[in-house]
């Protein structure tokens, strides 16, 4: 039996491998070597520090509104590490981790949030779509790309990342329906971080889980501990293999928590209390992974200091390089939407230039 049979969403079970104390659940083990685990932990450290730096840059007026990933690193690192060159990623607006896992430079990510058009362009050969600010619209694009790949016979997978709030949008359900009908090779990865801006999960939907929404569309669904790197990796690995072999789409619900604000324009103290956050701190994906690595003799305070210092030096250098990039021209806002600029875009561009 597959994971999707054993953990069918209507069975009410959540897939887990790594406990919060760093030990493994009975009869469970990671599908990664100790070295691979340590390498992914290093990436998570880098992502968290880069995330914190972005928050500081915004507060200092050196970056625009930013959506922090804090607390959701395992969802994006665990899933992103399974993807291969040629696969397509459709992010929402909180996918710093997924972007870096796909090979997008941190400088490019920072440039986007600094308002530079260059930040929306992934390097050649990296199929990372631009940030999607409208909630829940991009899963449709992931399905369309997957359908096109299927028709062409390309053995690629598409994945779209979104939050629990996106599952209340009609676009999400349309995408799920199309994915089920055409059995396309796509993965819907819902990072259920318990809040759609200020709206808590419990009044976002009456569904017991988000994963079970897949059942109505004839798509496999599974709920996974989104703070468990090993579980996320295992589930995504099986979903990707199934998609490549023609088995169709999967909805993965990664149960996690957003420790910070929805964006830097948000004040979470207006809708949640500190005592609400406290139980989730023990479930921090970084904490449990450190416990595991320490038990294997791969982590210590000295190791943490070295990893942190190396990451911080690289991040500080990236900030210098990003801030040294010249301000883009007004034309850049319009030139790269279509291969050839439409008359409407030309008119808009000339109008904007005339107001400056």
What pLDDT score does 329 carry? 87
User: Looking at residue 151, which CATH number applies to its domain?
Assistant: 3.40.50.970
Residue with tokens 């909180």: 94
What pLDDT score does 336 carry? 80
The answer on 320 and 274 residing in a single domain is: yes
The answer on 30 and 9 residing in a single domain is: yes
What pLDDT score does 332 carry? 85
What pLDDT score does 330 carry? 87
Domain count, the chain: 2
The answer on 333 and 202 residing in a single domain is: no
Q: What's the predicted TM-score (pTM) here?
A: 0.96
Query: Does 254 score more than 90 pLDDT?
Result: yes
The answer on 356 and 275 residing in a single domain is: no
What pLDDT score does 169 carry? 96
Reported as a single tens digit per residue, the pLDDT across 284-316 is 999 999 999 999 999 999 999 999 999 999 999
Domain that includes residue 346, residue range:
329-356
The answer on 240 and 111 residing in a single domain is: yes
What pLDDT score does 150 carry? 98
Reported as a single tens digit per residue, the pLDDT across 135-183 is 999 999 999 999 999 999 999 999 999 999 999 999 999 999 999 999 9
The answer on 162 and 87 residing in a single domain is: yes
Q: How confident is the model at residue 333 (pLDDT cuts 50, 70, 90)?
A: confident
Burial letters for 167-191: b for 16+ Cβ neighbours within 10 Å, e otherwise?
Answer: bebebbbebbebbbeebbbbbbbbb
The answer on 339 and 212 residing in a single domain is: no
The answer on 333 and 320 residing in a single domain is: no
Reported as a single tens digit per residue, the pLDDT across 117-136 is 899 999 999 999 999 999 99
The residues annotated with a catalytic role in the active site are: 258, 262, 271
The answer on 164 and 76 residing in a single domain is: yes
The answer on 213 and 175 residing in a single domain is: yes
What pLDDT score does 117 carry? 87
What pLDDT score does 328 carry? 83
The answer on 190 and 339 residing in a single domain is: no
The answer on 165 and 297 residing in a single domain is: yes
């Amino acid at each position: 039996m597959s994971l999707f049979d054993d953990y069918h969403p209507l069975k009410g079970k959540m897939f887990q491998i790594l406990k919060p104390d760093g030990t493994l659940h009975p009869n469970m083990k990671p599908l990664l070597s100790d070295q691979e685990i340590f390498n992914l932990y290093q990436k998570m450290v880098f992502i968290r520090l880069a995330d914190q730096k972005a928050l500081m840059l915004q507060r200092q007026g050196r970056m625009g509104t930013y959506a922090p990933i804090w607390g959701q690193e395992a969802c994006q690192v665990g899933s992103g590490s399974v993807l291969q060159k040629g696969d397509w990623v459709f992010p929402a607006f909180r996918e710093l981790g997924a972007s870096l896992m796909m090979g997008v430079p941190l400088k490019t990510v920072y440039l986007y949030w600094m308002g530079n058009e260059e930040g929306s362009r992934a390097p050649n050969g990296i199929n990372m779509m631009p940030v999607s600010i409208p909630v829940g619209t991009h899963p449709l694009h992931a399905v369309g790309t997957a359908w096109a790949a299927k028709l062409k016979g390309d053995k690629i997978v598409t994945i779209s990342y979104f939050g629990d709030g996106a599952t209340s949008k009609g676009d999400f359900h349309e995408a799920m329906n199309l994915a089920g009908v055409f059995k396309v090779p796509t993965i819907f990865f819902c990072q259920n971080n318990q809040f759609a801006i200020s709206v808590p999960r419990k009044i976002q939907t009456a569904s017991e889980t988000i994963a079970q929404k897949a059942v109505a569309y004839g798509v496999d669904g599974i709920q996974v501990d989104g703070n468990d790197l090993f579980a996320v990796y295992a589930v995504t690995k099986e979903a990707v293999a199934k998609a490549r072999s023609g088995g169709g789409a999967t909805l993965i619900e990664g149960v996690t928590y957003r420790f910070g604000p929805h964006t830097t324009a948000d004040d979470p103290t207006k809708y949640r209390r500190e005592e609400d956050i406290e139980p989730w701190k023990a479930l921090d994906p970084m904490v449990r992974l450190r416990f595991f690595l320490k038990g294997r003799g791969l982590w210590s305070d000295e190791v943490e200091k070295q990893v942190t210092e190396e990451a911080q030096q690289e991040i500080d250098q990236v900030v210098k390089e990003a801030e040294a990039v010249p301000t883009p021209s007004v034309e850049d806002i319009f030139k790269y939407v279509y291969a050839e600029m439409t008359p409407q875009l030309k008119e808009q561009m000339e109008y904007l230039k005339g107001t400056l």
